[in-house]
Amino acid sequence: MQESFAEEKTWYAGEGLKQGDYFSYKLCHTDYKDCSEFLMELWIEGDIQRGSETHWLTQTKVSENNKLVKGIMHLGKVAPEPVYSSDEIVLYKSAFRTSVAELATFTSILEPGNLTLGVNWQKDMTFIPSGAIPTNIIAIENEIITIPAGTFNTTVLSYTNTQDKIWIVDDFPFPIKAETWEERDEPKTKRYQFELQYYENVPDPKYAFSPLNENIAHQELTPEMVKEMVKSLSPEFKTPKQQTDVGILPSEVECKEGFQLIFKYSGSPACVKSTTAIKLVERGWTSTEIPENS
């Protein structure tokens, strides 16, 4: 009699990564302005040769406080850690490497991590000073979560003996969300946190990135330019919250065709069907103008 065994479920950093992948992450890291938040966009252009190795050439844009910085990164093929970046984004590259790409120090295509709940992953500490960063990680639970990029069936990882959580999705190259903390601080402070805002595979960066001029690096963005940047992320307009998060004024939020912009009495914008908007206004539950006390 032949025994059958269920196939072990595994994951590794970079799983499924391919040319044309576009990612948008909202990210903060304690080593960058004490976890000051920024938006980081990545588009995988294709292969690039660097010495004897082939890397992923990654077009990169960072939006922070209505400023846009752009450059390139090279991501490893075996493990998608940034091994090079242009000078403009070197600080952001470091934050990305030790947050979104940090699991590449635990797993790679050559050594996937076991997603069986309760199984430890051991970090290779050959070139890392002892005690510098957590060295073990464990799958603690399965969870369905909703984030700006959508709803996902995830496996939740945690560094052992911490309250950290990192959410990964099977066949998706990077974690989609993380909340980690400086364990030695009381009260606890953020080590790094991030959340996937949008993902799509697109053939050309003009469909992912803003159609802004190539010389825009470090230039102050006008509201009109920011608005165009948000629209260009997808054929559909982004949600009101995603628009205001990148600096668009509530009164300048745009809704999809057939939807009307309204304002809650807190002043926050929302897009609802026109027929719904009329009923809400008539009942005094909302307004089509920003409340004066907001």
Tell me the per-residue pLDDT of 145-155, one tens digit each, with 9 for 90 and over. Answer: 999 999 999 99
Domains observed in the chain: 10-201 (2.40.360), 253-294 (no CATH)
Q: How confident is the model at residue 265 (pLDDT cuts 50, 70, 90)?
A: low
Give per-residue burial for 207-224: e unless 16+ CB within 10 Å, then b: bbbbebeeebbeeebeee
CB 93 within 8 Å of CB 106: no
Higher-scoring residue by pLDDT: 208, 187: 187
pLDDT at 129: 40
Query: Identity (one letter) of the amino acid at 78?
Result: V
Global pTM?
A: 0.68
User: Residue 104, SS3?
Assistant: helix
CB 71 within 8 A of CB 57: no
Other CB atoms within 10 A of residue 99 CB: 26
Three-state SS string over 225-242 comes to HHHHHHHCCCCCCCCHHH
Q: Which pLDDT score is estimated for 41?
A: 92
* Average of per-residue pLDDT across 224-242: 57
CA separation for the pair 199, 149 (Å, rounded): 7
Please, are residues 68 and 45 in contact by the beta-carbon 8 Å criterion? no
Res 19: pLDDT: 93
DSSP bridge pairs for 28: 193
Evaluate if residue 235 carries a pLDDT over 50.
Answer: no
User: What tokens were used for 110?
Assistant: 């050559």
